[in-house]
Amino acid sequence: MSVRWETEGLQTVGIVCLVIMFLKLMHLLGLIDITETDSSDSDLELSTVRHQPEGLDQLQAQTKFTRKELQSLYRGFKNECPSGLVDEETFKTIYSQFFPQGDATTYAHFLFNAFDIDRNGSIRFEDFVIGLSVLLRGSVTEKLNWAFNLYDINKDGYITKEEMLAIMKSIYDMMGRYTYPCVRDDAPSEHVDKFFQKMDKNRDGVVTIEEFIETCQKDENIMNSMQLFENVI
């Protein structure tokens, strides 16, 4: 499979890549397949792990998943992550398995930080399932807020050209030889310029969350990409 970078809708590249790569990671972790659960997982208890997740009722209140879905998600998570936690190196290792043709470590770093809500260097089941709930069951605004948080690398409430360029370069590094036609060295910079031409309404050199959401909601390509999250589980 190859990925062709079209001249229109370039601002959707990051969002589309986020969807596709995130779903691949879910598949690897066994989080997409919903099967019948047994009572041993009903309270999300696992005596041998270092981290005990929050109670099922609390997670059900915090997310848009049913009890059965949470049970299945937890079973897949604990099978791949028996410690109950995922550190960044493990996350990068899992993620990179899908992209042997490129280098996914930098993009995986950005994605890890988006899930690591409390910035403690590890992703708990709660972190993962709350983010998953937003991406799969959240409103368009909630999904766009999550995407904005991914692009806002230093979490100061703005996307700068430097941050967006880092994201775009990491996507190109990750896709490697699967990009078609072959990527020019200046292609990421060109895409960032197009992104800012469309998103930066007041031309102050940064994109705010308000500018990001307003522009995305008016863009048919971006709205279509948001639908890729739906009906996965």
Name residues whose C-beta falls within 8 Å of residue 142's C-beta, 6 or more positions apart in sequence: 134
Question: Does residue 161 carry a pLDDT above 90?
Answer: yes
Burial class (CB in 10 A: 0-12, 13-18, 19+), 177: exposed
Quick check: 163 pLDDT over 90? yes
Q: How confident is the model at residue 231 (pLDDT cuts 50, 70, 90)?
A: low
pLDDT beyond 60 at 74: yes
Q: Which of 23-32, 91-100, 170-179, 195-204 has the lowest mean pLDDT?
A: 23-32
34 — pLDDT class (breaks 50, 70, 90): very low
Mean pLDDT for 132-148 is: 89
Q: What is the mean pLDDT of the chain?
A: 77
* Domain 67-137 shares a fold with domain 140-232: yes
Residue 165 has pLDDT above 60, yes or no: yes
Once rounded to an integer, what is the mean pLDDT over residues 186-194?
A: 85
Whether residue 81 is predicted with pLDDT greater than 70 in this model: the reply is yes
pLDDT at position 193 is 92
pLDDT at 179: 55
> What fold characterizes domain 140-232?
Recoverin; domain 1 (1.10.238)
CA atoms of 162 and 143, how far apart (whole Å): 23
pTM of this structure: 0.75
Query: What pLDDT score does 18 carry?
Result: 54
Residue pair 177/101 in contact (Cβ under 8 Å)? The answer is: yes
Average pLDDT on 127-148 reads 89
Cα-based torsion angle of the residue sequence 213, 218, 220, 223 in order, rounded to the nearest 10 degrees = 30
CATH 1.10.238.10 is right for the domain spanning 67-137: yes
Q: Domain map of the chain by residue range?
A: 67-137, 140-232
Centroid of chain to Cα 168? 14
Residue 111, CB-side half-sphere exposure with 13 Å CA sphere: 30
